[in-house]
Structure 1
Amino acid sequence: MSKGNILVVDDNKSVLSALEILLSPEFDKVHCLSNPNLIISELRKNSYHLVLLDMNFKAGVNTGNEGIFWLQQIKDNHPDISVVLITAYGDVELAVKALKSGATDFILKPWENTKLLATIRSSIQLSMSRAEVNHLKLKEKELKKVINRDEKFIIGSSPELMNVLKIVRKVAKTDTNVLITGENGTGKELIAREIHRLSNRSNEMLVSVDMGAVSESLFESELFGHVKGSFTDARENRAGKFELANKGSLFLDEIGNLSFHLQAKLLAALQNREITRIGSNQTIPIDIRLICATNKNLAELVDEGLFREDLLYRINTIQIEIPPLRERGNDILVLADFFLKKYTYKYDKPLLKLNNQAQEKLLKYQWPGNIRELEHSIEKAVILSENNVLKADDFFLKPVSGNRTDSDSLKLEEMEKRLVILALEKNPGNVSAAAEQLGITRQTLYNKMKKFGIG
């Protein structure tokens, strides 16, 4: 059997029966319509490679204009589908005109079976090739967006970082799902890229999605794709991130920010290992390695009813915790030196060095923003520098508010209360921002405020 699905449209039921008998043994699917008004709805419901279209449908009308009209409708809505016209001898000149309007070929009534089959086969092959080219163009367009980004590296040699990389090397060669946790700015995406680089999928793409930046209204379009005309702004077919990541890895960053009802849609795609573009009924199988990241405590969110427990089990076969920068010792200075070289080159400055007091200041600072904050601080110091040596005063770091107390003398609960107060002071009137800074949900922060009597 040849591959291919065919839609036959002719008002003559004898013609439909003859074509169905001839074509059904040769092709995957043959569906017949006697009413051309049903063409567009049928093409939306089912997948076809070719439409075999009569040119006249009204009794006594032989102009062929109806065929031309429906040809244009098909090409406007489904440009990849081939259209072969069925025409009488007297319509040949009109059929040639139709070829210029987008028809693939035409056959004459009465037809020769051998010639008809040959015409259909070549037209179906053209349709398949056209669809494949358009799919590759879509994929290339999206891949360019993914690839076009700065190259970044994992830098450091602290025992804490080495332990993380040891786990990375163990899990990379498997296809197991990985959940990367840690504070903002610790380099979770870099670890995801390292897992992909060391995996058996390294020749394919790692596609990243910032779940915190995807609006609920665009979630399905972003992840699953859409077909042209499926909603107001769907001006062209679009492949979703799942399709782009097929055979490769999909990195879902900030997975903890995904709303509860959208979690169900994500879980269904992961369980069924297939997706459906918006506006289409055709399922697309997916083969991905899933890597997720979050700065939130997902187990706590499960307890609060904000995260699906079954989704958590699905995504965290292996969990990798990234240590905060303040726990990585001299890696702070190694990273500082790397960023110094990067930004002295970028801003055409002489190679700068840190004096001892500046190094000590960087080592003692807690770095609540982690590597991202360190990079920003170095860049700012380089831009404002006037000498070849950076001093402690060249770094404008966030002050630690409140009286300093030996943490060993504080009970855990008292330290927690101080952290909550500090976050609220830094974000006056903005509980959401304070909760984000603490790495907890807003509801959890309200509970702690109530617990500690913070109004």
Structure 2
Amino acid sequence: MKHSGSILIVDDNPDILIAARLLLKQHYQRVKTTDNPFDIAGIINEQRNSDQPIDVILLDMNFSQDSISGKEGFYWLKKIIEQDANIVVLLMTAYGDIQLAVDAIKAGASDFIAKPWQNEQLLGAVAAAFSHAKDKQQVGKLTRQKQGLNQALNTPNFKFLGQSNAMQQVFSTIEKAAQTDANILITGESGTGKELTAHAIHQASMRHNQTFMSLDMGAVAQNLFESELFGHKKGAFTDAKADRIGKFELAQGGSLFLDELGNLPLEHQAKLLAALQNRQVTPIGGSKTIDIDIRLICATNDNLEQAVAEGRFRQDLLYRINTVEIRLPALREHSDDIPLLADYYLNHFAQKYKRNLTITTHDMASLCHYSWPGNVRELAHAIERAVILSEGENLDVSSVVGNITSNANSTNNPIENNNAYDTFDLDILEQRTVRAALTHYQGNVSHAAKALGLTRGAMYRRLEKYGL
């Protein structure tokens, strides 16, 4: 059975063209020939447009009379590679020597064939060239799949929106900073959209076709910090049953987003700083260093300047990570964006849950008058729950936020008024206490959880429960 691939033979000697075509036609379905190298580009385009792309080219190295230098072959080899790097080229010449063969391989040829050839030798070289071409095509396919997968993985669940002056300033800073490889620190209260900001930076950067890798530093156990970031070798410690690639290496060529950086203990801060300064990491249990090429984006809801003053954060690491700082405003600071955000989340969740709902003017006003201590995240969760619980055509905002939105300024509101104890509903009291802790610690979940005597996991469950 003939191979389905396509071969192009380029030689100014008609006898060579005939001999090569007759031999290869027995084994390959499509064999084209030309005695003029200026036809190569046109033939490649023609075959590609007919869905029968050229896989292998047999290219003579000398086309001028009495020429033996091979320069012409090298010239056309370069042109072919520039046009389609997936095509495999075999160079041919009657004036072969070892150095010429070496130079041909270095220039990008797959092999070097001396004329006259032995038929078995030529068939073997062409078969190897087709195998090489198949590998190239597969690599190209995997690369395209990886780019598509990266694009899918790098696309956040929600859009990063805002029309207010405060958000326009954020967008302007992102646009300027993203075009560089400068390290960026994103600050702001919990729920303001720090991860969305990191995604936006990556998508606007020159690395947008590469990996976006994220890691919540607050969720990493202290004994697994180095393994998560730098990787480990099998047997490096008790539970290291296989090699593990760290986040730095996984993000190679792309962006690495480290969230909740303020929770990183001092001992680990030193190791992170060393990796950033040296631009190298060494897996635990390994001896070989790995060069890293990543764009670092960090985020925190902690006041790192204050943390430095209190000795909780290294000043040199702070200088390293915040070449550019982007502060995200709390939702109460750009409340004119609430209608835009509310409509967006309503459309998103209405599609998700197959509902057809609208927000009344009264309920939209209620949403705009609420302070949203949980910021955009709280708004999104509130809208989602309202979509699920609402009956009829209008979004029932009161079904999830009750008096908080419908009577946000009322002094009788037991949740908003910390001095009001006219309720013994444990859920309301717990919600009020959690909200007060978040407000006191300016949205820092870790500090609020510690003050309440809760683990981070328990705290997040309560934030989810109450839409904070």
Band of TM-score, shorter chain: 0.5 to 0.7
**Distance in 2 between residues matched to 1:432 and 1:158, nearest whole Å:** 25
**In 2, are the aligned partners of 1:185 and 1:370 still within 8 Å (CA)?**
yes
Look up the equivalent residue of 1:186 and give its one-letter code: T
**In 1, are the aligned partners of 2:170 and 2:327 still within 8 Å (CA)?**
yes
Look up the equivalent residue of 2:219 and give its one-letter code: A
**Distance in 1 between residues matched to 2:347 and 2:326, nearest whole Å:** 30
Look up the equivalent residue of 1:328 and give its one-letter code: H
Question: Share of identical aligned residues, percent?
Answer: 50
Structure 2 vs 1, CA of residues 145 and 289 (structure 1 numbering), >3 Å: closer, same or farther? Answer: closer
Residue 318 in 1 paired to residue 324 in 2?
A: yes
Structure 2 vs 1, CA of residues 154 and 431 (structure 1 numbering), >3 Å: closer, same or farther? Answer: closer
Residue 211 in 1 paired to residue 217 in 2?
A: yes
Look up the equivalent residue of 1:221 and give its one-letter code: S
By how many angstroms is 1:402 displaced?
Answer: 3.7
1:399 to 406, 412, 415: 415
By how many angstroms is 1:151 displaced?
Answer: 3.4
Residue 224 in 1 paired to residue 240 in 2?
A: no
1:240-319 matches, cutoff 5 A: 240-319=246-325
**Distance in 2 between residues matched to 1:388 and 1:178, nearest whole Å:** 44
**In 2, are the aligned partners of 1:426 and 1:434 still within 8 Å (CA)?**
no
Q: Counterpart of 1:388?
A: 393
**In 1, are the aligned partners of 2:154 and 2:211 still within 8 Å (CA)?**
no
**Distance in 2 between residues matched to 1:192 and 1:427, nearest whole Å:** 27
> Which deviates more from structure 2 when the two are superposed, residues 235-244 or residues 143-152?
143-152
SS at match of 1:161: helix
**Distance in 1 between residues matched to 2:199 and 2:357, nearest whole Å:** 30
**Cα RMSD over matched residues?**
3.4
Q: Counterpart of 1:378?
A: 383
Structure 2 vs 1, CA of residues 218 and 426 (structure 1 numbering), >3 Å: closer, same or farther? Answer: same
By how many angstroms is 1:435 displaced?
Answer: 3.9
CA deviation profile, 1:60-113 (whole Å, cap 9, x unmatched) = xxxxxxxxxxxxxxxxxxxxxxxxxxxxxxxxxxxxxxxxxxxxxxxxxxxxxx
**In 2, are the aligned partners of 1:146 and 1:208 still within 8 Å (CA)?**
no
Query: How many corresponding residue pairs?
Result: 290
CA deviation profile, 1:242-285 (whole Å, cap 9, x unmatched) = 00111111111110010111101101101111000011111111
Q: Counterpart of 1:368?
A: 373
Residue 358 in 1 paired to residue 363 in 2?
A: yes
CA deviation profile, 1:145-187 (whole Å, cap 9, x unmatched) = 9938753311221111111000111111111111000000111
By how many angstroms is 1:390 displaced?
Answer: 2.2
SS at match of 1:250: strand
Q: Counterpart of 2:433?
A: 426
SS at match of 1:293: strand
CA deviation profile, 1:178-235 (whole Å, cap 9, x unmatched) = 1000000111111111111111111211111110111101101100001111122212
**Distance in 1 between residues matched to 2:151 and 2:206, nearest whole Å:** 23
1:69-88 matches, cutoff 5 A: none
Which sections of structure 1, spanning at least 5 residues, go unmatched? 1-128, 405-421, 447-455
**Distance in 2 between residues matched to 1:148 and 1:192, nearest whole Å:** 10
SS at match of 1:390: coil
**Distance in 2 between residues matched to 1:160 and 1:147, nearest whole Å:** 28
By how many angstroms is 1:316 displaced?
Answer: 0.6
**Distance in 2 between residues matched to 1:386 and 1:321, nearest whole Å:** 39
1:338 to 336, 339, 344: 344
**In 2, are the aligned partners of 1:296 and 1:440 still within 8 Å (CA)?**
no
Which sections of structure 2, spanning at least 5 residues, go unmatched? 1-134, 405-413, 421-428, 453-468
**Distance in 2 between residues matched to 1:269 and 1:288, nearest whole Å:** 11
Structure 2 vs 1, CA of residues 148 and 441 (structure 1 numbering), >3 Å: closer, same or farther? Answer: closer
**Distance in 2 between residues matched to 1:219 and 1:440, nearest whole Å:** 18
**Distance in 1 between residues matched to 2:336 and 2:271, nearest whole Å:** 44
**Distance in 1 between residues matched to 2:341 and 2:439, nearest whole Å:** 28
**In 1, are the aligned partners of 2:390 and 2:396 still within 8 Å (CA)?**
no
TM-score by length of 2: 0.56
Structure 2 vs 1, CA of residues 145 and 391 (structure 1 numbering), >3 Å: closer, same or farther? Answer: closer
Look up the equivalent residue of 1:426 and give its one-letter code: T
Structure 2 vs 1, CA of residues 146 and 299 (structure 1 numbering), >3 Å: closer, same or farther? Answer: farther
**Distance in 2 between residues matched to 1:332 and 1:431, nearest whole Å:** 24
